[in-house]
Structure 1
Amino acid sequence: MQQLEALSREAAALAGGGPRVIPIRAITAEESEVARVMQICNACRYCEGFCAVFPAMTRRLDFGKADVNFLANLCHNCGACLHACQYAPPHEFAVNVPQAMAKVRLQTYAEYAWPPKLGALYKRNGLTLALALAGGLALFMALAVALHGSLWRQLPAGDFYAIFPHKLMVALFAPIFLFATLALALGVRRFWTDDTPGPVTAAAGAEATQDVLRLKYLDGGHGDGCNNEDDAFTRSRRRFHHLSFYGFMLCFAATAVATLYHYVFGWSAPYDFSSLPKLLGTVGGLSLMVGSAGLLRLNLRRHPLQQDLTQRPMDRGFIVLLFLVASSGLTLMLLRQTPALPLLLCLHLGCVMALFATLPYGKFAHGIYRSAALLKWAVERRRPSRLQLADD
């Protein structure tokens, strides 16, 4: 490290910039463990066909910080390699790829977070915080409604804009959504530029997109599914991930279509049950509710060796928030013609605001970084490996 800093001073001096030290991030104990495990796996290669991690591993002889972060986010934590490994605990080599990768992923999110000082929020983003934030925001809005009317009253045609005007909702949610999008984009940009594999081609982009949408690497390597709590294979994790992902996207699409209706066509909510926003939201909400409930059940039953136990609060907090957003939204839709509308609206909006406020610093980030890692791999595998370049 001292030699690297000395070189950075010398380079800056030669460039006429004075004695400036280029900051170098030291490799952590968790990253060193992944590097150790990858060295053993690189010698064994029994799991080479399981997922993208192992082919990417074979293109390397050593594993620096950027390599480890890339491989960790390429890992889908399916658990197949742990159950197939002859060097897994209790062997003295103690090779546990899923757990080692999970620990590094959390560090990746924290180190690449924007703004950097908020990276520590990943370690504090637990179930208690998620519920407290959702409950606090819902209570705040409920008090505001109570001060200007009543929390239990019938409204004509279930018009929730009579409670919170459209412009007020936009003013509340737009800044949170834009900040979450910006924070995630800048974090992933730092992750990408840390070790750029080369220019992105159309073929690489199409392959990565297909891998993301199909959740290709949650099939356990042989198409039999993941290992969750034992040696038995199950496709449940992949199915519940699909239900959650596409349910979330359908709900987002429902909001986007409703926005188009409002600003382009001048059609104001509430919309009929047969309208496109309602159909998208209903199907998406049901899918998200079932998917998040299934993921929570699997998380509660997951074998301790297949995960980083310190991340359980963050994982469960995110899953529970997804379930609350979906279930409260569906309940609000079904009971919008009843006097419970104001109270249910406050509860739903509180859950949605809590979800988006924690998006950049919670489990949602893993999907974004994993997608970027898959794109990196799609680009890298089309280029000569470092070993081939060294031979040439």
Structure 2
Amino acid sequence: MQAELLQEARRQAEICNACRYCEGYCSVFPALHEERFFTDANLTQLANLCHNCRGCYYACQYTAPHEFDLNLPKALAEVRQDSWESFAWPGGIATLFQKNGVMIALATIVGFALLFLAFRALGSAGGDGFYAVLSHSAMVAIFLPAFLFPLVSLGVSLTRYWRATGGSKITWTQIVDAFGSAAKMRNLAGGHGDGCNFEDEDRFSQARRLAHQAVMYGFLLCFASTSAGTVMHYVFDLQAPYGLFSLPKLLGIPGGILMVLGTVWLAGLKLKADKNLGAVSAWGGEMGFVLLLFLVALSGLLLYALGSTAAMPAMLAIHLGSVLSFFLLTPYSKMAHGFYRLAALVRDAQRKGV
């Protein structure tokens, strides 16, 4: 990790530790105030515990033009981003994505979509519906490795993070506490439950919390939809395509709608927010990830709407290209932050003695 980023975060954390005005703002400050000095491990944990809500910045009396020039959200965001890039496996790709996220996301989607269209040009797969374009066995052969790769990559990355931050043996109670906090987006609710100041310094808002929840629960519904379809296919021998009132559709359509609305909302909030209170170099990567999730959800909904039309093969290629790009880029995109944040919340539960 870059020593200058850690040193600047250490300087600011020491000033915050002396002031303690923001003690009740989020989980970062109770953890910060327990320390007398800050190691690299402490700072890495604090950085990944931070949700960048920015309430502390707007409340701080030591921001510029004060000589202390505090900007703790930015300092922690830069350490956090650097930690993801340092722990990522294989290395190097994460840095590239953060700098050119939008272009990489679009390029991979277009590239994979053209590849799937090329498969289509070779001839029909002979199945029904989507499987007339690409057979079920071909989809499994392509997407199973693509699904397993990010799991392995993230497993290696999180193991590196856990060792670097001094994590110990995990209990079920700590896992439940961390997942409960993540499910409620507790740290985006602000210290008093009024929300945070991410998009507007003059007022508290729950907007970022609600947008994150829309994306998260939409994604979980879509994942549940895919899982239900897998069980129906392999266990009950019920072949796709499925009807409107089938479990995959009842889960997937609301999930896709939530993801579309949530990603559009998040993009709008990010465009309104001050870039200088986060990791500026990662802004493109963050927007690239939001765009990737948006295209996965939107193409899935359009695919269902156009499933019986001549536009279906092209839309299927775009959707499959989006999904494949999402899987392969997950360890290097902002998607990884959810896993790191869960690990940080588990680590914080250990600090609290849960």
TM-score (norm. length: structure 2): 0.96
Matches of 1:295 and 1:53 in 2, distance apart? 23
Q: Deviations over 1:252-297 (max 9, x none)?
A: 1100110001111111100010000011000100000000010001
Residue pairs, 1:96-245, within 5 angstroms: 96-148=71-123, 159-227=129-197, 228-245=199-216
Contact 1:128/1:317 (CA < 8 Å) preserved in 2? yes
Matches of 1:297 and 1:175 in 2, distance apart? 34
Q: Deviation at 1:197?
A: 4.1
Matches of 1:275 and 1:60 in 2, distance apart? 53
Contact 2:64/2:70 (CA < 8 Å) preserved in 1? yes
Q: Deviation at 1:210?
A: 0.5
Contact 1:106/1:122 (CA < 8 Å) preserved in 2? no
Residue pairs, 1:280-291, within 5 angstroms: 280-291=251-262
Instruction: Tell me which amino acid in the other structure corresponds to 1:61.
Output: R
Secondary structure, aligned partner of 1:199: coil
Contact 2:101/2:284 (CA < 8 Å) preserved in 1? yes
Q: 1:353 aligns with which of 324, 343, 347?
A: 324
Aligned residues: 353
Larger of the two Rg values belongs to structure: 1
Q: 1:251 aligns with which of 222, 229, 234?
A: 222
Matches of 2:103 and 2:97 in 1, distance apart? 14
Question: Cα–Cα, structure 1 residues 125 and 187, in superposed 2: closer, same or farther, change >3 Å?
Answer: farther
Contact 2:57/2:71 (CA < 8 Å) preserved in 1? yes
Instruction: Tell me which amino acid in the other structure corresponds to 1:35.
Output: R
Matches of 1:331 and 1:106 in 2, distance apart? 34
Residue pairs, 1:242-321, within 5 angstroms: 242-321=213-292
Q: Deviation at 1:118?
A: 4.1
Q: Deviation at 1:369?
A: 0.4
Matches of 2:117 and 2:261 in 1, distance apart? 28
Contact 2:99/2:282 (CA < 8 Å) preserved in 1? no
Matches of 1:271 and 1:242 in 2, distance apart? 27
Matches of 1:210 and 1:92 in 2, distance apart? 40
Aligned to 1:390: none
Contact 2:97/2:104 (CA < 8 Å) preserved in 1? no
Contact 1:112/1:119 (CA < 8 Å) preserved in 2? no
Matches of 1:261 and 1:142 in 2, distance apart? 27
Instruction: Tell me which amino acid in the other structure corresponds to 2:149.
Output: F
Contact 1:199/1:379 (CA < 8 Å) preserved in 2? no
| Structure 1 range deviating more: 55-64 or 190-199 | 190-199
Matches of 2:64 and 2:276 in 1, distance apart? 9
Contact 1:249/1:284 (CA < 8 Å) preserved in 2? yes
Instruction: Tell me which amino acid in the other structure corresponds to 2:234.
Output: Y
Q: Deviations over 1:49-76 (max 9, x none)?
A: 1111111111111111111110000000
Contact 2:124/2:134 (CA < 8 Å) preserved in 1? no
Instruction: Tell me which amino acid in the other structure corresponds to 2:242.
Output: Y
Instruction: Tell me which amino acid in the other structure corresponds to 1:83.
Output: Y
Secondary structure, aligned partner of 1:265: coil
Q: 1:48 aligns with which of 23, 27, 31?
A: 23
Root-mean-square deviation (CA, aligned residues, Å) is 1.7
Percent identity at matched positions? 42
Instruction: Tell me which amino acid in the other structure corresponds to 2:118.
Output: L
Matches of 2:80 and 2:224 in 1, distance apart? 29
| 2:349 counterpart of 1:378 | yes
Aligned to 2:315: 344
